[in-house]
Amino acid sequence: MIEEPPRTLARAQTSRGDLALRVRASPGGPVHELIVAGIFAMDDVDHSTEDVLAEAALSRCGTPARVLVGGLGLGHTALAVLHDRRVAELEIVELEEPLVAWAHAGLVPTLAAVAADPRVRLRIADIAAVLTEPGPAYDVVLLDVDNGPSFLVHQANAGLYAEAHLRAAIDRLAPGGVLAIWAAQREPELFARLQEIAGAQDSIAELVLPITREGRSFDYAIYLVERSGT
């Protein structure tokens, strides 16, 4: 079978390079692709780990009314958050302005559903800056902006995984709140750093998520900090 090349739905140049949304045909239906900074960032052929990022954090939180998501991507994590009716407000922080415009324009069904939900506020900003600005507490903070500290797409995101920003993210949690961070591989140094930073009463966990893509096996991972309820 001859595979059709992906079709470009939208494309823009940003200060970080080429940004594009593409779609390709597959036996299971259309597959959407996101290119960020000229690099293939993701497709939605299997978005199970993006969903688990939201589900694992929400299931550990008693009252997840206010949620912050760093990184819109193709909108799967955000949509999984919105499936939880306990969520009253979802703030999504995305670095790339054109991607937010394409979400409002409804270019991809998941992004259209996210942008249309009245509980959503889509903000164009660097999540690292948002975490350190004064503001209200969140019940859940979900970070999926890069592959993880050992395999960055944007070198500028290195600071997000360093102590000051991790501490800021934990400090922004309400009592009983949950921070979850997605990574494309296990990140033992990140796990150790979270254990050092979190309070004695907080719980830290690593979820290892084995994935098979195009015949190859990968261990994706999610790092969780549950802030104590008192």
Binding residues for ligand SAM, per CB under 6 A? Answer: 36, 41-42, 47, 50, 70-77, 93-96, 99, 126-128, 144-146, 154, 157
CB closer to ligand SAM, 74 vs 122 = 74
Rounded Cα–Cα distance for residues 91 and 69 (Å): 6
Residue nearest ligand SAM (C-beta atom): 73
Q: Does residue 90 contact residue 55 with C-beta atoms inside 8 Å?
A: no
- The minimum distance between CB 68 and ligand SAM, in angstroms, equals 11
**Contact at 8 Å (CB) between 61 and 223?**
no
Query: Quick one: 113 or 228, whose CB is closer to ligand SAM?
Result: 113
Closer to ligand SAM by Cβ: residue 145 or 202: 145
Min dist CB 37 to ligand SAM, Å, is 8
Element (H, E) at 66: strand 66-70
Shortest Cβ distance from residue 128 to ligand SAM (Å)? 6
User: Least CB distance from residue 162 to ligand SAM, whole Å?
Assistant: 13
**Rounded distance, CA 66 to CA 137, Å?**
8
Comparing CB distances to ligand SAM, the nearer of 180 and 194 is 180
Interatomic CA distance for residues 165 and 207, integer angstroms = 21
Half-sphere exposure of 208 (CA within 13 A, CB side): 9
DSSP-derived pairing of the beta strands 7-14 and 89-94: unpaired
In whole angstroms, how close is the CB of 156 to ligand SAM at the nearest point? 7
Query: Least separation, in Å, of the C-beta of 63 and ligand SAM?
Result: 23
How near is the Cβ of 34 to ligand SAM at its closest, in Å? 6
Q: Centre a 10 Å sphere on the Cβ of residue 214 and count the other Cβ atoms it contains.
A: 5
β-strand pairing of 89-94 with 120-124: parallel
Nearer to ligand SAM, 99 or 141 (CB): 99
Question: For ligand SAM, which is the closer residue by CB, 139 or 182?
Answer: 182
- Ramachandran angles phi, psi of 23, nearest 5°: -135, 140
Quote the CA–CA distance of 88 and 180 in Å, as a whole number.
19
Distance CA 49, CA 55 (A): 9
Nearer to ligand SAM, 50 or 187 (CB): 50
